[in-house]
Structure 1
Amino acid sequence: MRSTPRPVIRPRRLRETPALRRLVSETRLHPADLVLPLFVREGVTEALPIASMPGVVQHSLDSLPRAIAEAAEAGVGGVMLFGVPETRDARGSGATDPNGILNVATRVAREAADGALVVQTDLCLDEFTDHGHCGVLDAEGRVDNDATLERYVAMALEQARSGSELLGLSGMMDGQVAAVREALDADGFTGTAILAYSAKYASAFYGPFRDAVESTLEGDRRTYQLDPGNRREGLREAVLDIEEGADVVMVKPAGSYLDVLADVAAASEVPVWAYQVSGEYAMIEAAAAHGWIDRKRAVVESVRGIRRAGADAVLTYWATELAGWIRNGETE
């Protein structure tokens, strides 16, 4: 009887033990590669839970320092601040008010961080406008790209004066990176870095985020955010932002756009980040709450997949918790 041939090549050899799997792992997670998004709400005295994002809160100015201290202690690389103002208007005036919630929160965050992590700020008008769009509107109710750039410039300068180390340009206006870079340099902020949300798609996965910032959006953002069906356009936007002076480029959302992320990572001369957005967070939390998936394994796998696709850093609402798992060796 002819015996069954035995395989000569056995890839399974490298999977035999946890130590061996760890030794040959191609994609490693490190706390410094994580950025924690934080919401800061004006006019509250304590942190308020966000129903659609279990475990995430709207911070008060009093609760913010503790969250930053916890992130720093866990080794998280940075925090990204989003402001939730009490009042809004058509031009998003609160965004450029030195005493506006985001600018005040930035000063609080810089003091709390004390250099242990990078304090970053979202540079967009959507949280500050009464119509909820990322820019100012023209007489026809459309987002006026070039008029919005003027507001972004003013917002950038105020954020830089407040101490933001990295400005997250998330509005998807044409020419936003060049306009902000020129203004920062002219005003002496040559050391303030720019993170361009280069490939930001018009996604259904932003829903819980809009709860978090109490969005007043009317209509949608499809005239300036990318069409989910377009892959090449994401790379094109990233290349343009790099040419305009972006220090970091980003793909958002992460999980549904790993192909775009891989394209950008392969072509980029600057660091490439990805944002694991609110809907991605909420889906895993909801499934885990029902006992349908292993929460810790799903969180780790989802972030590792984003890193594997090419992200040098990941914005994730699990940043502090995940950093703790990594430090304790609980991610294998």
Structure 2
Amino acid sequence: MSIAMREAWGTALVELGRDVPELVVLDGDLGTSTKADKFAAAYPDRFLQMGIAEQNLVGTAAGLATTGMIAWLSSFGVFFSHRALDPIRMLVAQTNANVKIAAGYTGICFGMAGKSHHDHADLAIMRAMPGMVVLAPGDAAECAAMTRWATAYEGPVYLRLARDPGPDLPPSGFELGAVRELRSGTTAVLVSTGSQTARTLQAAELAAADGLDLRVLHLPTIKPLDEQSLIEAIGDAPYVVTVEDHSTFGGLGGLVAEIVSGGPRPVPVRRVGLADTWVESGSNDYLLDRYGLSAEAVATQVTAIAAELS
């Protein structure tokens, strides 16, 4: 079991701060939750507590970027993708500002927060924004690698972070746009991203009991993705199933469907994720089962898709 992504992000920033004096962190009054408080304790002169004023947080970061600072923003994902969306669009993306967005508490797995704090459209929103790099780490090690990469990269980055620890994926570094094959298989291909990938990998093992030999691909980069690598990784599979802790509108499923349909060998793409619904409050396990994203629920859905398409 890995440490939480937010812990890995905070620790990586502290380490980076030693060698990158222009690194600053701006927080929206959630530092103890997002773990931006680690950076605040290590470098108080480079930490700005902006309060619950996300639009101002983004604007200040964009201004700091014009002076040569590398600004990391810390808050919950929903507050960036909705409350602060206009300044992100106008001040960060359109100007190609060197601002990094650490979007914490994304997906459905963060306890009893309820529909006010759950956002399942952030990947669709951010990947549609010109100039925005969109990353979704699968575990803490990948998160730390992405944090280092994003700090060195010149331009806007959206980093999607889950709240709670999850299983570790097989060790790997981070390469922008790369497609990672985590399990070989010939029956079909499962494609996942973020913390959902570990559950998807577990689902493939469960589905093996029903005779399904499933290849599992992990896409840590939502944008820009190496499209040719994805086409090659899908290979001659008869169909693809995407699995995401996100709306089935415009996120990973939309991305993969767009690429596959425009490729040399279009095949059926089925999408497993959140339907057109708001997510209620509940424990992580309850919500994963309720909305079909637990390993068991994904395996059941994949088995049904296999029966439909066989």
TM-score after normalising by structure 2? 0.32
Q: Between Structure 1 and Structure 2, whose CA radius of gyration is higher?
A: 1
TM-score by length of 1: 0.31
